[in-house]
Amino acid sequence: MHRHGRRQFRPHHNPHHSAQPPIQVLSPAGDDEPLTITMLGAGQEVGRSCCVIEHRGKKVVCDAGLHPAHPGLGSLPFIDEVDWSTVDAILVTHFHVDHAAALPYIMEKTNFKDGNGKVYMTHATKAIYGLTMMDTVRINDQNTDVSGKLYDEADVQSSWQSTIAVDYHQDIVISGGLRFTPYHAGHVLGASMFMIEIAGLKILYTGDYSREEDRHLVVAEIPPIKPDVMICESTFGVHTLPDRKEKEEQFTTLVSNIVRRGGRCLMPIPSFGNGQELALLLDEYWSEHPELQNVPVYFASGLFQRGMRVYKTYVHTMNSNIRSRFARRDNPFDFKFVKWLKDPRKLNEHKGPCVVMASAQFMSFGLSRELLEDWASDSKNGVIVTGYSIEGTMARTLLSEPDHIESLKGGNIPRRLTVKEISFGAHVDYAQNSKFIQEIGAQHIVLVHGEASQMGRLRAALRDTYATRGQEINIHTPRNCEPLILTFRQERVVKAIGSLAADRPVHGTPLKGLLVSKDFSYTLLDPKDLKDFTGLSTSTLVQKQSIPIGVDWSVIRWHLEGMYGEVEEGVDEEGRASFTIMHAVKVVQISEIVVEIQWSSNSSNDMIADSALAVLLGIDGSPATVKLTSTPHQHSHHGHFHGTATTNGHSNGDASGSEEFDRIRMFLEAHFGEVSGPNVTVAEGEEDELLVMTVKIDEVVARVDLISMRVESDSPDLKRRVETVLEMALTTLKPLSRSFIGSGVVLNLENAAVTA
């Protein structure tokens, strides 16, 4: 692990924040782009969960919560570290304040709305999110400090409408190479963990999760796909919690003891989550103990009451116990003994013992704080803290059993009521977390959502566990705004499809086709399959260029042959005279003063067309043109010629083969001296000597077959030397046009004959 010296920007809303250099884990990965994970909240702390994941130009944010212990802007994640307009998606695991309450601010008060990013959460989470955020606004409106109001009801409504609801196990494709799938996380109704895939790299973000089945929720499930990175909560560190049955017995005993001594029992709860679980437990316990049925049990939250409709709607996402009871028309949420306390002022009229579940969970505000201050001075009363208590909140302060508590109205209140903690927070303890991490089997584990001390102990314990098994594991505990950079070696696999995949290829044999890249994946296919498999189609671009020219058509041919060696004469579809250069570019005579170059565009044809254009544009100013147009000229046309020059008794039109033979012989004689042949006429039975040159050095002979251009000799050294010279001769003599199409020397065999 190496630390770089680069510094990050400090968020302006927290001037005391000290930015940390990024952690970089180096591994040989070639040119592979790194995965960067930056915690904007919940990095070595609990609260304001917000995790930014970046890879190959894609940016995903998981959760956007507020810190319950901080007011106003200070409760937000370090949002200044991100250009929100570049975020592709925000994935919200569940509706709790520390995971979702910053969402209206980010969606409505930042430049997130200037980008193309979307927000995703499960259907149940979206339903409860709207209720909890409206309740947050209501509570903030009671605060006279305007700076503490981050957003209003209009912002919440707008953010809710813009949120996309998804189902568990639904494969959501966001954009090229970016997709995710939600899985059950337990914890609370609608909670999910996300398997995120970016360009083939898989990241599992757990959020808060539970591996213990309670009265209504399923446990967190193990995804069928192994991730490369697991970003995992570490709330309880190395603590081991009592089993479910033991916790329930301790809880009901505590409640019973408080009310039996004539006291009032306060349970601070979130409006959704373990509040419903505790209501189910108390309703069942009261039904089994008639002696307690004269003691009222209240849930003092209108939001709790409205939320029960959501719970009844999403029964199909709960465990088999709840589903089977609903199937028998036994609604477990129709409580017999737990009642809604619509007007909390009625508690003042009730002087006897009672049980009250009230929000907020952390008792920093709300009815739970009011009741705490009212009941704190009576030793018969008691508080049972049933969830995780975040550092800096009243719930955490109470656990230290102070002599006095601070009143929101000012001054101190003596604390005489009893304080006990029995966690039903639906987080994993060490044993559950450790086992789940091992079952997931990720290469890298990133611990988040835990206090620094607990997180450090958990990391050490996990390393010891793996070490005893002879295994290594990479465990990271990044702080807020401290980028974690991971590099992976990823294989690039090309899939052959269509007709290319009809037969299994033999190892080592080349495959030819079109390589199609889409969403960071590669496909090889035959061009004729392109439309069927990709929806794409091929097309040919034909380019044309007209050129004014003031010379005879035969002069144009002379110049083209001078450059390319030979051209093919013909006519186009409209009957106009044309020359074809190197089987690629056509020069058409449009009129006596205009020619047109035509070619199918590709890299090689474009190069030939450029050179032909240069030749044609230079014809008018060429001194050779002046000479050719003032005197008779000699140049070969296929089948006719101008002038009367002859070579070795042959006209120019028939001399190409003899001239090439003479030039080859010239090369051979320059290197070897005596060269005979070729024989253009041989006797019957001696056909093997037709068009053969003989090289002789000190009685050692090498035969050169001008038809096949093969060399035969009893001397390997002479054969090798002659082959080298012959190759040099052919390369030198071969016209440019033949070099391009890959043909050899064209032999004129019209004058070769076999005589009897």
Please spell the DSSP secondary structure of 614-654, one letter per residue. HHHHTTTT-HHHHHHHHS----EETTEESS--EETTEEGGG
* % of the chain at pLDDT higher than 70: 87
Ranges 389-403, 584-598, 704-718, most confident: 584-598
Mean pLDDT, rounded, for 628-656: 42
Higher per-residue confidence, 309 vs 407: 407
pLDDT tens string 462-517 = 999 999 988 889 999 999 999 999 998 877 788 888 888 888 888 888 888 888 88
pLDDT tens string 148-160 = 689 999 999 999 9
d(CA 182, CA 164): 13
Domain range 35-239+428-486, CATH class: alpha beta
Instruction: Compute φ and ψ for 713, nearest 5 degrees.
Output: -165, 150
- Identify the band that residue 217 occupies on the pLDDT scale cut at 50, 70 and 90: confident
> Under CATH, what is the fold of the domain 542-621?
TATA-Binding Protein (3.30.310)
Reported for 620-626, long-range contacts at CB under 8 A and 24+ positions apart, including other chains, are 620/549, 620/550, 620/551, 622/559, 624/558, 624/559, 625/551, 625/555, 625/559
pLDDT of residue 649: 34
d(CA 116, CA 176): 13
- Three-state SS for 281-314 is HHHHHHHHCHHHCCCCEEEECHHHHHHHHHHHHC
Q: Among 115-124, 423-432, 671-680, 713-722, name the one with the lowest average pLDDT.
A: 671-680
d(CA 140, CA 150): 8
Q: What is the CATH number of domain 244-421?
A: 3.40.50.10890
d(CA 695, CA 675): 5
Res 733 pLDDT > 80: no
d(CA 604, CA 624): 28
Domains 244-421 and 542-621 share a fold: no
- In the chain, what are the domain boundaries? 35-239+428-486, 244-421, 494-534, 542-621, 660-733
- The maximal CA–CA distance of the chain, rounded, in angstroms, is 139
238, 457 Cβ separation under 8 angstroms: yes
d(CA 566, CA 580): 9
pLDDT tens string 341-358 = 888 888 877 788 999 998
Alpha helices in 549-697 (DSSP H): 553-564, 603-617, 623-630, 656-672
- The catalytic residues are 427
Cβ contacts of 266 within 8 Å, gap of 6 or more: 356, 358, 368, 371, 372, 375, 381, 382, 383, 384, 417
